[in-house]
Chains A and B, each alone.
Chain A
């Protein structure tokens, strides 16, 4: 990510961004992927958009996986000066839009991986909108820790 306009930073698939300048972090088209927003009480925060639950040992693209992506985001927040002891989390995504993946679809594996990784890191989950069978778009505001979730044919949800 580059540039000087601070108010909105797009986070792609298998991507993450952190900010301490009040920007909104947005990501769209979440299906079975999961988005995790972290923030501290000083307005530092980040958003991860991960595709798969667990990174292989030779993973290059850390943000592609929930476990390595959360670790990397926590490290970046630490480098940014965030108080990593006061981080809290919001989670969205992990839906089962298609009849793929049998009885244990990737979406729920992603959600479980996020919950487990956050618990290991001692980060409380303050809100979640996960599962279901619809797509989501997410806007996360680190200043307040508010996560806004949009779906087709539903009113926006605020966590």
Chain B
């Protein structure tokens, strides 16, 4: 099966319109100010889907059927759930958590209305139910090793609370819909198998990066999340919180051009730098040098996987050190991409460790190069056989 990647833009716009309706519905219901922080389409390897929902504390599921099949999940952390419940209960000190079902109901209904309008068909939704195992509710498909997940982050109130709204379409019927909506031109076509292989290849690259970090620092690491997001260029910054990050940014060019950011949450940056440096060598300059070296090794390990799989070379620049607001760093990259494209493909990797340290790696291939590279892949490639640094 082949799909037109350009048609993803249309679906993202439908998703954004749906999310805005859902946010307005939440605002009407609760009286809270709401805003859609971002909407993205997430391609997640099936074996990584669980990680998307790893920190979920409250979730409500609704199934839908008709023009679009699948299910919606509305998830909250405890504080955000309490905040919206209090608003709904009008000051009641012990609000009924079943109110969340009503929130999910009205938000899902508003969200799918946008899809139904666009598809000019009806979509029916089920009664909402609270779920404790959202990670096990993601549908899988025979056609692919990844799932499509539409994610909208909706902020509400003035204390930074948010909920996440996931739309999990049945992958097979969604792929058929994508195929039908594609334009006649085959310029943007890729095969689903090729795309799946590329995502698996990148996931394997993330594992290599984690292993390299572990070797250099002696800190045991684990890849927590790897996924490919298709996201409006204006929403790229939402991938990180508004905290401070320390790391490096690279520009790469070759068969595929783009940018790579390797960023540590500020609190953990000194932990990894100290782990690399000899005891007592902890000047600011040395710490920066250690972070740059970690970035270099990470960038090489990640990008070489792509280059070797394609039997080509992809060069990357010297590291550009950053110690600043993570969102401002990602925004500066997004602005470069925004000159040429409306949406970005973003590989988002989170590496966690036994020590309190989180490393975020973001790769931003240019859209044209991405299509070329995906199309050029051997769809039967054994990703474990690809050599990396």
Using a CB–CB cutoff of 8 Å, the interface residues on chain A facing chain B are 1-5, 7-10, 12-15, 28-33, 51-52, 61, 64, 95, 97-101, 106-107, 134-137, 152
B234's partner among A9, A13, A28, A136 (CB-CB below 8 A) is A13
19 A-B pairs whose Cβ atoms sit less than 8 Å apart in the complex: A2-B33, A3-B27, A3-B32, A4-B32, A4-B33, A5-B158, A10-B35, A12-B37, A15-B234, A29-B327, A31-B328, A32-B335, A97-B329, A99-B317, A100-B259, A135-B327, A135-B329, A152-B244, A152-B323
The chain A residue sitting closest to B339, CB to CB, is A52
Q: How far apart are A82's CB and chain B's nearest CB, in angstroms?
A: 22
Which residues of A sit under 8 angstroms from B47, Cβ to Cβ? none
Q: Once bound together, how far apart are the Cα atoms of A118 and B173, in whole Å?
A: 51
Which residues of A sit under 8 angstroms from B323, Cβ to Cβ? 152
Contact B320 A135 (CB under 8 A): no
Using a CB–CB cutoff of 8 Å, the interface residues on chain B facing chain A are 23-24, 27, 31-35, 37, 155-158, 233-237, 242, 244, 249, 251, 259, 317, 320, 322-336, 338-339
Which residues of A sit under 8 angstroms from B24, Cβ to Cβ? 2
Q: Once bound together, how far apart are the Cα atoms of A9 and B234, in whole Å?
A: 18
Contact B33 A98 (CB under 8 A): no
Scoring A2, A28, A137, A152 by chain B CB atoms within 10 A of each residue's CB, the highest score goes to A2
Which residues of A sit under 8 angstroms from B31, Cβ to Cβ? 3-4
B331's partner among A9, A31, A101 (CB-CB below 8 A) is A31
B328's partner among A14, A15, A135 (CB-CB below 8 A) is A135
Contact B328 A29 (CB under 8 A): yes
Q: Once bound together, how far apart are the Cα atoms of A48 and B327, in whole Å?
A: 17
Contact B33 A152 (CB under 8 A): no
A4-B31, A13-B235, A14-B234 known; A100+B339 contact, CB < 8 A? no
Identify whether the interface residues of A are mostly helix, strand, loop, or mixed: loop
A97's partner among B157, B317, B332 (CB-CB below 8 A) is B332
Q: How far apart are B260's CB and chain A's nearest CB, in angstroms?
A: 12
Contact A33 B33 (CB under 8 A): no
Which residues of A sit under 8 angstroms from B330, Cβ to Cβ? 29, 31
B33's partner among A5, A30, A135, A137 (CB-CB below 8 A) is A5
A3-B34, A99-B320 given; 4 more Cβ-contact pairs under 8 Å: A3-B33, A4-B27, A31-B332, A136-B328
Which residues of A sit under 8 angstroms from B326, Cβ to Cβ? 29
List of 3 A-B pairs having minimum Cβ-Cβ separation, nearest first: A135-B328, A29-B327, A3-B33
